[in-house]
Structure 1
Amino acid sequence: MADGGPPPRCAVLGATGFVGRALVADLAAAGHPVQVLSRTAEHGFPHRIGVTLGDATDPRALETVCDGADVVFHLMHSLAHADFAGRDRVIAQRLAAAAAAAGVRQLVFLGGPRPTAATSPHLASRSEVAGILLDGEVPAIALQASMVLGRGSAGVELLSRTARLPVRPRPGWTARRSRPVALADVRHYLRAAAGHPPLRGRFDVSGPETISYDGLVRRCARLLRRPAALTLPSPFWSHETAARIAGLTSPVPATVAGPLFASLEHDLLPADTPAESVLAPPLGGPTSLDNALRTALGVPVPQAPAGPAYQEEYTRLAQAGPHRLWRAITALGGDHGRFPPAPAWALRGLLDGLLGGAGAYRGRPDRPVTGDVVDFWTVRRRDDTHRELVLAADMRLPGDAELTLRADPAGTGSLLWQRVRFAPASPLGHAYWHLQKPAHNQVFAWLARSIVRDAERGT
């Protein structure tokens, strides 16, 4: 397609998985003729999708699905089988042979990060499959992702179940780090590979944030608006134990959960060439971790309610220009940009935690965008053109609270415009607004002074 010709013909193995179904829909929407391999006629694909019935270990089925294909996507993983490594090895060997015999132009494999030391059987198997395809006659690329965050994935199901627990064990292996990536970004790179001239190599597909598994669970709980859980150090809580419990309490079988948890014994960080160095990155950059989780969990960005609301506006002149003031506004949150006055917010966070709210959570991505979490706020809207940031309070309140911050030009300096808006949800909300107003006037005036001071200092 890069030369303006017809869209390449594509074949997909693993088309019924959560990544596969999304990719098949994307390819079909882009005009690619698509053939998939399915073990059952109850696959649910529309009539325009060609279906080859058969098992991926069957050479004849592989020959049939590869016949006439320009690009073959290998998205399968046999975790549900006891001998998943052996089964996946056979599939990779037979697929490489069938693709070569059919004259396939490109193989695209979606796997995990390359192991750098002793690793789990799951990761070792993923790397072995990549190696088999890369050593084959047909040019192959291995897109390597540590964890794909998308609706329907076993990993997200385990995350959401764990995040809902009021008491959570915290074994040492949950401190291992990874770079989770949004399903939308994985889909983008898979589509890009379909239209790219043949490539060969390992390319890492990573999200923008490095985070531990425990941190990922807490971020998930934060987006689900779950009360802060009691976490207990659990040195004897093995991944086998976690898998058995997951098998009993979630739709994810223990045979699948076990290898996934075992992979958490190691950091899952990118070690090869970034995919964006050879394939065009997503428009607008990678999806933020919070927005990847929101989509995977089905949690929308909170919207301001319609109807009457109380509001207070504050303005403050700054000697710094609007760009520096905007930088100070967007640096709020986290350990290094704490909302001033810090003691007041810490006390409010403690009270909120006691009420079952977001509590004293402190965290933010490097560049918060709409949908991201910033301490106990959610970014409702970010407008870099007009330098306006709208934050929705996630604290337990009898109504909806919103904070808007804007940096406007003003002569040689700038003007900070700040608005606090509160839409009461009940008669208690009206009383709350009037009772807290004197204290809030002081807090938000302090916040405005602090933002201007940081801008003038150039921090």
Structure 2
Amino acid sequence: MERPTPSAPVLVTGGTGTLGQAVVAELAARGLPARVMSRTAAPGVTGRVVGDLASGAGLDAAVAGVRAVIHCASDPRHAKQVDVDGTGLLLTALQRSAPEAHLVLVSIVGCDANPLGYYRRKHETELLVRGSPAPSTLVRATQFHELVATVSRVLTLGPLGLAVRGLRFQPCDPAWVAAHLVRVALGPPLPARLDLAGPEALSLAQALRLTARAAGHRAPRVVTVPGWGRVWRGFAAGSNLPGPDAVTGGSTYAAWLAHRD
């Protein structure tokens, strides 16, 4: 089995998603070859390979000869099958076909501090990777700007907006996260987890107003309600916010709104 060389490709799982596309763009900007894994073939797309995390089909071929894997693939609706079991299948394929490749697992800040089912699966995936012999680095990120915008639009009904009391975000730009992921993937595994977050925290009420104004609408009158259930109370208590050791940067939410297409 040949050792990966500096010219070997970097495999990006979930390479057609929001973060994955940013990672592929970052690799291209650095002049590095990317191999994008998807479940179906895409004729004419350079570097695209077929691989299915849910079944394990094609994973050995997808990882063969790569220098690193940036594992962005995730499915909130089927997290046990794709995130947990699929990552297990990916680890097995790496052991067989590319045992020296550096695996960078993308996870979520605070996934071990909130009872949301998807978060529990993400933390389970983290433990699976940490317990494997694969050279690996765990990178957690806060919510992306796109998610905050989606939540804000859903919770704005004409002149009114609905906000959970205490709920705050410190969202980040996927392109900024992608740059960190590529940098980490090209180096040796980090001994400690890397947490990434945007440059500032904002309340849900602030996000509602910023989102409305960016769309050319009047800021809604925000009605605040208490968090209900363990999940929302956890978020309201700040379980999704970064700790003091997190690396912060990238664009603010307001700047991202102003410059998006």
Q: TM-score range by the shorter chain?
A: 0.7 to 0.9
Distance 1:63 1:295, change over 3 A: farther
Matched, 1:294 2:252: no
Matched, 1:214 2:205: yes
- Over residues 348-378 of structure 1, what are the superposed CA-to-partner deviations in whole Å (9 max), with x where a residue is unaligned? xxxxxxxxxxxxxxxxxxxxxxxxxxxxxxx
Q: Paired residue for 1:323?
A: none
Q: Paired residue for 1:147?
A: 143
Structure 2, unmatched stretches of 5+, are none
**Residues 114-263 of structure 1 aligned to structure 2 (within 5 Å):** 114-115=110-111, 117-149=113-145, 153-163=146-156, 165-172=158-165, 175-235=166-226
Q: Provide the secondary structure at the position in 1 that maps to 2:66.
A: coil
Q: Provide the secondary structure at the position in 2 that maps to 1:59.
A: coil
- Over residues 304-362 of structure 1, what are the superposed CA-to-partner deviations in whole Å (9 max), with x where a residue is unaligned? xxxxxxxxxxxxxxxxxxxxxxxxxxxxxxxxxxxxxxxxxxxxxxxxxxxxxxxxxxx
Distance in 2 between residues matched to 1:62 and 1:266, nearest whole Å? 40
Q: Paired residue for 1:400?
A: none
- Over residues 47-79 of structure 1, what are the superposed CA-to-partner deviations in whole Å (9 max), with x where a residue is unaligned? 432x22231123342211111111101111111
- TM score, norm. by length of structure 2: 0.83
Amino acid corresponding to residue 269 of structure 1 in structure 2: L
Distance in 2 between residues matched to 1:154 and 1:206, nearest whole Å? 14
Distance 1:132 1:87, change over 3 A: same
Q: Paired residue for 1:53?
A: 50
Answer with 1 or 2: which has the greater Rg: 1
In 1, are the aligned partners of 2:15 and 2:21 still within 8 Å (CA)? yes
Q: Paired residue for 2:63?
A: 66
Distance in 2 between residues matched to 1:7 and 1:293, nearest whole Å? 37
Amino acid corresponding to residue 141 of structure 2 in structure 1: A
Q: Provide the secondary structure at the position in 1 that maps to 2:193.
A: strand
- TM score, norm. by length of structure 1: 0.50
Distance in 2 between residues matched to 1:72 and 1:33, nearest whole Å? 12
- Over residues 174-194 of structure 1, what are the superposed CA-to-partner deviations in whole Å (9 max), with x where a residue is unaligned? x22231111221121122123
Distance in 1 between residues matched to 2:220 and 2:255, nearest whole Å? 22
Amino acid corresponding to residue 241 of structure 2 in structure 1: L
Q: Provide the secondary structure at the position in 1 that maps to 2:199.
A: coil
Matching residue within 246, 249, 252 for 1:274: 246
In 1, are the aligned partners of 2:172 and 2:251 still within 8 Å (CA)? yes
Matched, 1:77 2:74: yes
Amino acid corresponding to residue 288 of structure 1 in structure 2: T
Root-mean-square deviation (CA, aligned residues, Å) is 2.9
Structure 1, unmatched stretches of 5+, are 240-258, 277-284, 299-459
Could you tell me how far 1:90 is from its partner in structure 2?
0.2
**Residues 406-421 of structure 1 aligned to structure 2 (within 5 Å):** none
In 2, are the aligned partners of 1:202 and 1:272 still within 8 Å (CA)? no
Amino acid corresponding to residue 172 of structure 2 in structure 1: V
In 1, are the aligned partners of 2:142 and 2:241 still within 8 Å (CA)? yes
Amino acid corresponding to residue 293 of structure 1 in structure 2: L
Q: Provide the secondary structure at the position in 2 that maps to 1:201.
A: coil
Q: How many residues align?
A: 254
Q: Percent identity?
A: 24
Q: Provide the secondary structure at the position in 1 that maps to 2:197.
A: coil
Amino acid corresponding to residue 120 of structure 1 in structure 2: L
In 2, are the aligned partners of 1:163 and 1:220 still within 8 Å (CA)? no
Q: Provide the secondary structure at the position in 2 that maps to 1:57.
A: coil
Q: Paired residue for 1:91?
A: 86
